[in-house]
Amino acid sequence: MNKGCVGIEIGTRQVKMVQWEDSGQYREETELLPDHYVCNGRVTAIEALGEFLKDMARKYSMTKPWCCLVLPDSVTYTRRLKMPAMTVRHLKLNLPYEFHDYIQNKREPYVFDYAVINLEYRHGQKPVSMDLMAAAAPRRVIEEYEKMLRIGGWKVKAAAPVTFAYSNLIREYEKGKGILAPKDYCFVDLGYHTTKIFFFHGNGLEAGRELEAGCEQLTWEDGPCRQLYETVGMAVRRTLEFYYFRFPDRKLKEIYFCGGGSRIEAFRETVAEYTGLDSRFAGELVLKTGFEKNDREIRILSPGAAGIAISDFQSGSKMLERLKERVGSWFI
Provide the 3-class DSSP secondary structure of residue 27.
strand
Against a cut of 0.85, is the pTM above it? no
**Cα distance between residue 303 and residue 4, in whole Å:** 18
pLDDT at 313: 46
Domain ranges of the chain: 5-73+143-310, 75-138
DSSP 25: -
pLDDT at 306: 85
pLDDT at 329: 28
In sign, the C-alpha dihedral spanning 241, 233, 187, 211 is positive
What phi, psi does 212 have (nearest 5°)?
A: -85, 60
Is 44 within 8 Å of 37 (Cβ atoms)? Answer: yes
CATH 3.30.1490 fits 75-138, yes or no: yes
**Cα distance between residue 273 and residue 312, in whole Å:** 36
Nearest Cα neighbor of 305 from 136, 158, 155, 146 is 158
* Cβ atoms within 10 Å of 173's Cβ, excluding its own: 18
The arrangement of secondary structure in 5-73+143-310, i.e. its CATH architecture, is 2-Layer Sandwich (3.30)
Split the chain (332 residues) into runs of 10 and give each run's mean pLDDT: 77 87 76 87 90 95 90 87 88 88 82 86 82 90 92 90 88 86 91 88 89 75 78 92 92 90 87 93 69 46 81 45 33 25
**CB-hemisphere CA count at 13 Å for 179?**
17
pLDDT at 311: 60
> 303-310 vs 162-177: helix axis angle to the nearest 10?
70
pLDDT at 332: 24
